[in-house]
Each structure stands twice: as C-alpha cells, then as structure tokens.
Amino acid sequence: MAFQITWDLDKEGGKADSSVEEKTAEREGSEILEPYVGMEFESEDDAKKYYIEYARRIGFMVRIMQRRRSGIDGRTLARRLGCNKQGFSPNHKGTLGQEKKPRPSAREGCKATILVKMEKTGKWVVTRFEKEHNHPLMITANGFNTTGDKDKKIEELTMELAHQEQLCSAYREKLFAFINNVEKQTEELSSKIEVIVDNIRKLEAERQRFTHRSAGSLGL
C-alpha cells in the first residue's frame, strides 16, 4: 500500500545548527528576519506562512513546489518553496503545428528558493536558501509589494492550498491506521476460522470412526 518518492532535495545545501532557535516570523518594526540555513519552525505550515510573508515583504510571489513523503505513513518530510518565476514556460503550438503568438510569460528561470526538512525532533529546519532573484522585485517605499487584487487572491489561495494539504496528510494518516487495523483484525479472524475448521474436521473424523465401530459391533 505504501510508496515513497525518492529524490535529492538538498545536495548538502547546509547542515542545520540545532542550537539555533528562532520564532517563525521575528520582526523589527516592518522588517522580517531573512531566512538562513538552520532556521527552525514548529511545523511545515509555520515555515510556509513565514516564507510567504517574507516574500510579500520583499516583493515576490511564492510557488509551492516539490515535497518528499515518508514511505511508511505518507507524512511530508521535506518541502521546497520558491519564487513563482522559477522555470520557463514551454512553447505552445496549434493543432496544425503552427506556433501561437507568444504570450508574456510569468516564468523567468528564477533560482530563489528555500528548502525545509523535518528533523527527528519534529522541528522543521531550513537546509537550503537561495536569496537572489534574476528579475526586479515589486516593492514600495514601505517595503510592501505592489501586487494587486489578483496577486493577493493568489496568495490567499496558496495559503488555503497549504491548509488543505495539511488536512489531506491528516486524513491519510487516519486511513493508513484504519487499513492496518483492518488487516490485523482480518489476520486474527483468519486464525480463528482456521481453528474452527480444524476442530470441525477432527469432530467429523471422530464421528466416522464411531460410526464404523458401531457398524462392526452390530455385524453390519
């Protein structure tokens, strides 16, 4: 039933310093602490909220990217977040093979990203952080990005998606627990049925021997 997606999220992007403990979003006035390798969070959701708030202050939108799951219970063990301008949009062609008129692409191959992993302690730790963007950031004099209602809606949907993923993870854990319980009960029931069948066979054999002895004593 279980499966595991294996891929190298972090080529030794930096070992977490266990002595470093920071609040999810430490602020001084309107400033927010810049991410760094070793930064800790209480949960994956805290890490997402922090990075989304950091991105909002800096002036870019966040894309929820890959994650690595446990092959045992399906829990998320690591998550990568990045700038929404990561990667490149493919060239789309029409049904007759003619290229359509190119449209402005939101992707510019930006490398800005952050990787968080869950430690054995249950803490989520930043193990890799790429700060630099290859495109202008949209910020105002107050340090807030200038995204309009559309981008704000995207941000809200991103947060909702993160929440829904948490719910899915919780439901998945309950499902695995239920399946394991059913399998255990099935094994116990199978063992009981085998005992009952074996007893019935023994009783049937005894009955046949008794019938043969009775017939012999009567001279039949």
Q: What is the pLDDT of residue 104?
A: 52
pLDDT mean over 65-77: 87
Per-residue pLDDT for 149 more than 60?
no
pLDDT digits (tens, 9 = 90+) for 44-64: 999 999 999 888 888 888 888
Output the CA angle 68-80-10, nearest 5 degrees: 75
Residue spans of the domains in the chain: they are: 27-90+102-175
Q: What is the pLDDT of residue 7?
A: 43
Per-residue pLDDT for 28 more than 50?
no
Which residue has tokens 């309009």? 148
Q: What is the pLDDT of residue 24?
A: 37
> What secondary structure does DSSP assign to 75-140, as a single string?
-EEEEEEEETT-S-PPPPB-TTSPBPPP---S------EEEEEE-TTS-EEEEEEE---SS---B-
pLDDT digits (tens, 9 = 90+) for 77-120: 999 998 888 766 665 444 445 555 555 555 667 888 899 999 99
Write down the pTM of the prediction: 0.46
Q: What is the pLDDT of residue 195?
A: 86
Most confident of 18-22, 141-145, 169-173: 169-173
Residue 177 pLDDT class (50, 70, 90 cuts): confident
Q: How far apart are CA 55 and CA 48, in angstroms?
A: 10
Rg over alpha carbons for the chain, rounded to the nearest Å, is 30
Q: Which residues pair with 83 in a beta bridge?
A: 62
Residue 188 pLDDT class (50, 70, 90 cuts): confident
CA distances for 44 relative to 17, 47, 96, 198, angstroms: 18, 5, 46, 53
Higher per-residue confidence, 180 vs 125 = 125
Q: What is the pLDDT of residue 65?
A: 84
Q: How far apart are CA 52 and CA 36, in angstroms?
A: 15
Q: What is the pLDDT of residue 90?
A: 60
Q: What is the pLDDT of residue 100?
A: 56
- Mean pLDDT (the chain, rounded): 74
